[in-house]
């Protein structure tokens, strides 16, 4: 039962990461191209972590789903035991956990400030 729940959690995390990661990449590309074509005089940078709420919220969602997927995989491997063939998966899970955590540490304070400031 626990193994199935961890598998489901990892699958949801991977699917969410891919979905919102794709949205994030598409948003950055489209926004950069449109700004380059129209060349508006904007006071803020094109895609700024401090001023772009769409970028912040999407990046935060990517971080949340990345941490969910990597954490679920790590807990699963610690639950069933780490074998030689699962060592690369464990190492990549640690990398994913660190990457997602770093993304969250950059974006969550800004999103929190945006939500509190506009509530």
What are the pLDDT digits (tens) for 34-50? 777 776 665 556 666 66
Q: Where are the domains of the chain?
A: 2-118
| pLDDT tier for residue 61 given thresholds of 50, 70 and 90 | very high
The residue that leads in pLDDT, 29 or 51, is 29
* SS3 per residue for 30-66: HHHHHHHHHCCCCCCCCCCCCCCHHHHHHHHHHHHHH
Is the pLDDT assigned to residue 32 strictly greater than 70? yes
First and final CA of the chain: distance in angstroms? 41
CA distance 28 to 37: 14
21 versus 28: which is more confidently predicted?
Answer: 21
Higher pLDDT, 92 or 82: 92
pLDDT at residue number 33: 80
Contact between 78 and 94 (Cβ < 8 Å): no
Residue 39 pLDDT: 67
Percent of the chain with pLDDT over 70: 88
Query: Dihedral through CA 89, CA 93, CA 95, CA 98, nearest 10?
Result: -170
Q: Kindly report the average pLDDT of the chain as a whole number.
A: 86
Q: How many Å apart are CA 13 and CA 63, to the nearest integer?
A: 10
pTM: 0.84
């Amino acid at each position: 039962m626990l193994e199935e729940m961890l598998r489901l959690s990892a699958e949801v995390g991977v699917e969410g990461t891919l979905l919102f990661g794709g949205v994030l990449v598409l948003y950055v590309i489209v926004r950069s191209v449109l700004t380059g074509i129209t060349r508006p005089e904007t006071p803020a940078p094109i895609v700024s972590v401090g001023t772009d709420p769409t970028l912040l919220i999407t990046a935060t969602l990517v971080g949340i789903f990345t941490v969910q997927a990597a954490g679920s995989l790590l807990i699963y491997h610690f639950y069933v035991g780490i074998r030689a063939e699962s060592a690369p998966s464990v190492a990549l899970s640690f990398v994913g956990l660190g990457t997602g955590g770093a993304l969250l540490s950059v974006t969550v304070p800004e999103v929190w400030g945006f939500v509190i400031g506009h509530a």
